[in-house]
Amino acid sequence: MAASDTASRPIRTFKIPVREATPEALAPYGTVLGSLPEIPPLPINFYDGTVTVRKPAEFITDSPAEFTVCRLQPRPMTLEFLERHPRHTQAFLPLGGKPFIAVFAPPTPDNELPEIETLEAFEFDGTAGFMMHINTWHEFPFAVREDTDIVVVLSRDTNQALHDDNVIEGEAHGPDLDKRNLVARLGLRVELETD
């Protein structure tokens, strides 16, 4: 549906609470990337035991992986977009220990947006990152503080699809990206309820 199709519709508002990001709460959407003692260490034994190596998850992509550094500033806690990646497991890795908020919804069949009631918002404390399962719906993280730096690990295909010349009617699509505008498509504004 084009943005012009919803221009005359009233905008509805849906609110979701922000919860603490825990490995258990995030399991349906991906894997926490941090120092998790419950993950057994790999049998890599250099440096007289002073380095422990754990592998919490497998990064998957069918095009070259790219590491980008994004500096976030606080913005309104309102979802404008939802996106997903059918061919890679995107990761967010905070730098500097600053908290951020991320919103997720489970993968859906075919080309359907998720039911709004399935959206969940989580506040990360900045000490661990997160890698999403393939096709997990999400919005780009929200900064809680100014100058929040996050490394984003994503596929080259997705990075290319996000460039300005690929954006049509406020949305971006590509072989590994489906980024949709909620207000234009559904006449819906999703607000995050923080403490």
164 falls within a domain: yes
Q: Check which CATH number belongs to the domain holding 88 and give it.
A: 2.60.120.480
Structural domains of the chain, count: 1
Count other Cβ atoms within 10 Å, centred on residue 35: 11
Helices (H) and strands (E) in the chain, counts: 3, 15
184 falls within a domain: yes
**Whole-angstrom distance, CA of residue 18 vs CA of residue 194:** 6
56 falls within a domain: no
50 falls within a domain: no
What pLDDT does 107 receive?
A: 92
47 falls within a domain: no
156 falls within a domain: yes
Range of the domain at 34: 3-41+65-193
* 127-150 pLDDT, tens digit each: 999 999 999 999 999 999 999 999
98 falls within a domain: yes
Residues in Cβ contact with 186 at an 8 Å cutoff, skipping those fewer than 6 apart: 6, 12, 113, 116
Q: Say what the pTM is.
A: 0.89
Q: Shortest CA distance to 148 belongs to which of 100, 79, 93? A: 100
Structure tokens at 162: 């996000």
| E strand or H helix at 43 | none
116 falls within a domain: yes
Q: Which amino acid is at 18?
A: V
Kindly list the distances between the CA atom of residue 144 and the CA atoms of 42, 126, 166, 183, in Å, as whole numbers in the listed order.
35, 10, 29, 23
Task: Tell me the residue length of the chain.
Answer: 195
What pLDDT does 59 receive?
A: 92
The stretches in the chain having pLDDT less than 50 are 1-4
